[in-house]
């Protein structure tokens, strides 16, 4: 696919973050901690109601990061460094060329579909991240990420504004690290940029983990 030309060498191709209640502050904090030259594309999905201003979330996030932030559109290729924001009320599937196919999402859903398709497309080159949120969205997605050999980080449910989504992900046994929000950016930097970081931060999947079909 040639999507890594001109970037620092990394074991990974892509970061997918899913969040819900409290997600703007949480995502803004993580993005603020990433350097402007962070090489991996980041796709962000936050639950929310569809509106006539689909670019509003991206515009607000741009105030908190040196990374370029853009709003996803149909058939965009999510391979450029920076942040691609799925508009509120939508989710997306990725194909093998990392093209986004946007589809309407039910309220409180969409993360599982995005993560599962990204896991199939990127395999072990994906980092999935579950941030604060209610309900269980993302728990099936992290199973897919781990089943395809990727890595999973979650915001520590104890410090998250809403701990249900991170807790549901943790309950699958498919999470590599649960970290306070203030440490998630450092973990992403270590995995993506530190020589040998991906191998150093390797956590065996427990025998009781539920990887799904």
pLDDT digits 0-9 by tens, 126-143: 999 999 999 999 999 999
Which tokens belong to 77? 């290729």
pLDDT confidence of residue 5: 44
- Domain ranges within the chain, ordered by starting residue: 17-199
pTM for this predicted structure: 0.91
Three-class DSSP category at 94: strand
The yes-or-no answer on residue 10 being catalytic is no
pLDDT confidence of residue 199: 64
Chain-centroid distance, C-alpha 186: 15
Closest Cα to residue 140, out of 121, 119, 124? 119
C-alpha atoms less than 13 angstroms from C-alpha of 109 in its C-beta half-sphere = 7
pLDDT confidence of residue 6: 46
For residue 53, give every residue at least 6 positions away whose Cβ sits within 8 Å of its Cβ, in sequence order, or none.
none
- Looking at the DSSP bridge assignments, the partners of residue 43 are 16, 84
Least confident of 106-115, 166-175, 202-211: 202-211
pLDDT digits 0-9 by tens, 110-127: 999 999 999 999 999 999
Of 76, 137, 156, 176, the catalytic one is 137
Q: Which whole number is the average pLDDT over 101-112? A: 93
Percent of the chain having pLDDT more than 90?
Answer: 78
17-199 under CATH 3.40.50.180, yes or no: yes
Residue with tokens 């060498």: 9
Of 13, 20, 76, 156, the catalytic one is 20
Of 13, 26, 47, 139, the catalytic one is 47
CB neighbourhood size of 71 (10 A)? 17
The yes-or-no answer on residue 74 being catalytic is no
Q: Is the pLDDT of residue 60 over 90?
A: yes
Residue 201: which pLDDT band, with cuts at 50, 70 and 90? low
| E-state strands within 63-141 | 69-71, 82-86, 90-94, 100-104, 126-130
pLDDT confidence of residue 202: 67
Residue 163: which pLDDT band, with cuts at 50, 70 and 90? very high
The yes-or-no answer on residue 137 being catalytic is yes
């Amino acid at each position: 696919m040639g999507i890594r030309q001109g970037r620092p060498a990394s074991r990974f191709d892509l970061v997918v973050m899913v969040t819900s209640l409290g997600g703007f502050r949480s995502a803004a904090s993580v993005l603020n901690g990433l350097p402007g030259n962070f090489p991996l594309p980041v796709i962000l999905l936050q639950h929310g109601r569809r509106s006539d201003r689909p670019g509003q979330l991206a515009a607000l996030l741009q105030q908190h990061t040196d990374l370029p932030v853009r709003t996803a559109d149909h058939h965009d290729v999510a391979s450029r460094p920076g942040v691609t924001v799925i508009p509120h009320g939508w989710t997306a599937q990725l194909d093998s060329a990392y093209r986004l196919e946007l589809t309407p999402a039910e309220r409180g859903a969409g993360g599982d579909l995005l993560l599962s398709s990204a896991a199939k497309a990127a395999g072990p080159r994906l980092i999935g991240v579950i941030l604060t949120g209610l309900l269980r969205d993302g728990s099936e997605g992290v199973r897919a990420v781990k089943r395809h050999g990727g890595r999973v980080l979650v915001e520590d449910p104890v410090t998250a504004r809403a701990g249900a989504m991170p807790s549901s992900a943790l309950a699958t046994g498919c999470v590599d690290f649960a970290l306070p929000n203030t440490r998630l950016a450092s973990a992403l930097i270590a995995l993506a940029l530190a020589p040998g970081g991906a191998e150093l931060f390797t956590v065996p999947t427990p025998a009781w983990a539920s990887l799904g079909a």
